[in-house]
Amino acid sequence: MTIKRTISAVLCAALTVTLLEVVRSSAPEEDPLGVQSEPVVAGRMAKAVPAPAAATGTPYQAGDVRWPESKTVVVDVPVGGVQLDGLPIHLAPAAGNGGSRVRLEVLDQEATDSAGVAGLLLEMERLDAGDAPTELRVSVNYSGFAQAYGADWSNRLRLLDLHHPEKRAPVDNNVKTRTVSADVAVAAQSAGGSTIALAAAPDGKTGDFSATSLQPSSTWSAGSNTGDFNWTYPIRTPPGLSGPEPGIELSYNSASVDGRMAASNNQPSWIGEGFEWDPGYIERRYTTCAEDQKDGNNSGEKTGDQCWVTDNATLSMSGHAGELIKEAGTSERWHLRAEDGTKIERRYGAGTAPATASTGWSPRPTAPSTGSASQRSRR
């Protein structure tokens, strides 16, 4: 039995080897894949052809500026009004008022600049009817000096009583005829008269040049479905040694830019459009160098640049805000005018003089503010 099994195993092995050889010999030989090649396209260096300059139209040329001459006139103002001789000024009694006799003086530009007015300055006083004031319709044509300043200055012109700036009469600025008109109260000579300034308001029909304020979209809402997209991105902060830790996150709101248009003062935050983070700030105020001429400052050169004048600062933080007062007997220690224990220290860059050094502030509030994450981000 053992011999038979051995012979059977040998026969099976021989048949298997034979079949494998037959299959292998009958299969076609496979060619190995070659490296893929792409056709080569011959190139050449092309010469640059200068494009003709695009026509942009005629460059803007500002017209000549002709301020009214410094002049004093005494005139009787009839009911129908009167055009002052040699001046672009028309006077008429306001509605419901009769005629009057007035004295009007147009100050020169040196006196106007000294008064801090960028425009025209008029001194007016009533000469009749004792101490009683009169109300006149004053119209000034600014065609000769409409381009004295930029930023649509002439479109924002108004008439303002410098003795009573809180009294704002309605002003009609006709940009087609370039005439500003308003009802002005003219005080009697015995009362010191009135000082009327023709100057620009911070905003007008063509835009707003005042400080950035809240956007109109901040108050837009339609129930609970405003359609805006909100997103916040938390910022890692180092752990505090003791006490509370700051919580900082950048907030995005797609609706915060909806209220911006061509005629508004549009300034995105320092992070980006739609983002907001207000950790607080310390701000100082300056004045024009033309008003800082004492003790030989600025070499007597009157310019519109901003100058130092006094050492001042204002703090704005969550829960701590107000004017800062420099402490007596210390060089750089400050505190709030409304004292709440907050201490502030001003620091300068190492190795530099205070006048030219980079400045940093280190406020230390008495206690941290509490509240929502958005409030904490202001610290």
pLDDT digits (tens, 9 = 90+) for 171-227: 899 989 999 999 999 999 888 899 999 999 888 877 777 765 544 444 444 445 667
Name the residue with higher pLDDT: 377 or 255.
255
Phi, psi of 14 (to 5 degrees): -65, -45
**pLDDT tens per residue, range 286-307:** 888 877 777 767 766 666 678 8
Quick check: 3 pLDDT over 60?
no
Cα(79)–Cα(87) distance, rounded to whole angstroms? 20
Count of Cβ atoms closer than 10 Å to residue 371 Cβ:
10
Quick check: 130 pLDDT over 90?
no
Q: Do residues 135 and 94 lie in contact, with contact meaning Cβ atoms separated by under 8 Å? A: yes
Summary mean pLDDT of the chain:
77
The confidence score (pLDDT) of residue 202 equals: 85
Phi, psi of 66 (to 5 degrees): -125, 100
Cα(197)–Cα(372) distance, rounded to whole angstroms? 48
What amino acid occupies position 230?
N
The confidence score (pLDDT) of residue 355 equals: 47
| DSSP assignments along 1-25, one per residue | -HHHHHHHHHHHHHHHHHHHHHHHH
**pLDDT tens per residue, range 31-48:** 555 565 667 888 888 888
Q: Do residues 179 and 158 lie in contact, with contact meaning Cβ atoms separated by under 8 Å? A: no
Name the residue with higher pLDDT: 330 or 75.
75
Cα separations (Å) of 230 from 253, 269, 275? 5, 16, 10
The confidence score (pLDDT) of residue 377 equals: 28
What amino acid occupies position 47?
K
The confidence score (pLDDT) of residue 122 equals: 94
**Which residue has tokens 């026969």?**
11
Q: How many helices (H) and strands (E) does the chain have?
A: 3, 23
The confidence score (pLDDT) of residue 365 equals: 65
The confidence score (pLDDT) of residue 219 equals: 45
**pLDDT tens per residue, range 226-255:** 677 888 888 877 777 777 677 788 888 888
Name the residue with higher pLDDT: 29 or 273.
273
Quick check: 136 pLDDT over 60?
yes
Name the residue with higher pLDDT: 141 or 252.
141
Using 50, 70 and 90 to split pLDDT, how confident is the model at 139?
very high
**pLDDT tens per residue, range 79-112:** 889 999 999 999 999 987 888 899 999 999 999 9
Instruction: Give the pTM.
Output: 0.47
The confidence score (pLDDT) of residue 214 equals: 47
Beta-carbon contacts of residue 193 (< 8 Å; ≥ 6 apart): 103, 123, 124, 125, 126, 186, 187
Count of Cβ atoms closer than 10 Å to residue 80 Cβ:
8
The confidence score (pLDDT) of residue 59 equals: 65
Name the residue with higher pLDDT: 14 or 159.
159
Quick check: 28 pLDDT over 60?
no
**pLDDT tens per residue, range 323-353:** 998 888 767 888 888 888 888 888 876 544 4
Using 50, 70 and 90 to split pLDDT, how confident is the model at 376?
very low
CA-closest candidate to residue 337, choices 349, 352, 353, 326: 326
Question: Can you give the residue ranges of every domain in the chain?
Answer: 71-208, 216-276, 281-376
By DSSP bridging, strand 179-186 and strand 134-141 are antiparallel
